[in-house]
Amino acid sequence: MKRFALLAAAIFLHGCATDTTSTSLTTADKQRLVEITQSMPAEHQARHNARHPVETLEFFGIKPGDTVVEALPGEGWYSQILFPYLGKQGRLIGVDYSLTMWPEFGAWATPEFIDGRKAWPAQWAVDAKTWGGADGAAAEAYTFANLPAELTGKVDAVLFIRALHNLARFDAKGNYLTQALAETHRVLKPGGVVGIVQHAMSEDKPDAWADGSRGYLKRSMLISAMTAAGFEFVGENDINKNPKDNPQADDNVWRLPPSLRTSDEQKAANQAIGESNRVTLLFRKK
């Protein structure tokens, strides 16, 4: 984290471009995206007002037929949209943490859990067949430590949707963020884009509150890390911001919906805050 501190401060003090333009979708592509999101199960759609999937993917310029890397796809919330949207000509590549990173989380990362992570790439590809249907994108999965050489310069977009805080948190222990961004740069085509949605801490809060361990990072840190990795900042969109989320010293992002990991006394107040404040940033490979 220290390696980004000076550049982060410079960006915060002097500012940077805030051009919010991105690759526009055709009317047909946007309509297709809307239709797919509207076909999601009710529990999926219940989060659309907080996650804004149509507006987010439109801002990132994701198009049918693209080759897209989705970092930390989890249980597939975005994957379930992307597989049918990218279509038969598309390709969606899920990427997990390097296996050496999981033990950094401590006792809950048991040997059995690690075995599950080893099996995850194959399982994700199986799940993708149900998410994408007969006309869905091709699916494959790796970790940041074993993305194949043949992907070099072949990817249109890499998405880090709430996926950077733990990489940053453990970077000093294993260069995990540094590796992930280097691999991102390698696999992208010239002019390929990186879309980031990240739980965001206010710039005026202490850096120690935004080291990733609470789920939050600062906008300036993200921009400095991406710039150091060779990316050009294109712009940002306010669609996923939530000014009600104003975390204090002992607060973490999981106190808020949907996790609500907090005391019973705090749940109603945290429910009223809603999901986390997030920055939505777009970068381009130079």
pLDDT, position 23: 59
Q: How confident is the model at residue 202 (pLDDT cuts 50, 70, 90)?
A: very high
Percent over 70 (pLDDT), the chain: 92
Domain span including residue 180? 2-285
Alpha carbon distances (Å) from 279 to 34, 72, 256, 267: 22, 18, 16, 24
Condensed to tens digits (0 to 9), the pLDDT of residues 235-266 reads 999 999 999 999 999 999 999 999 999 999 99
| Global pTM value | 0.92
Q: Which of 241, 168, 235 is nearest to 207 (CA)?
A: 168
Find tokens 């940033």 and name the residue. Answer: 281
Give me the CATH number covering residue 88: 3.40.50.150
Amino acid 5: pLDDT: 44
- The mean pLDDT of the chain is 93
Does the pLDDT at position 21 exceed 50?
no
Does the pLDDT of residue 10 top 50, yes or no? no
Find the mean pLDDT for residues 137-160: 98
Contact predicate 68/158, CB 8 Å: yes
Question: From the CB of residue 225, how many other CB atoms can be counted at a distance below 10 Å?
Answer: 23
| Domain count across the chain | 1
pLDDT tier for residue 24 given thresholds of 50, 70 and 90: confident
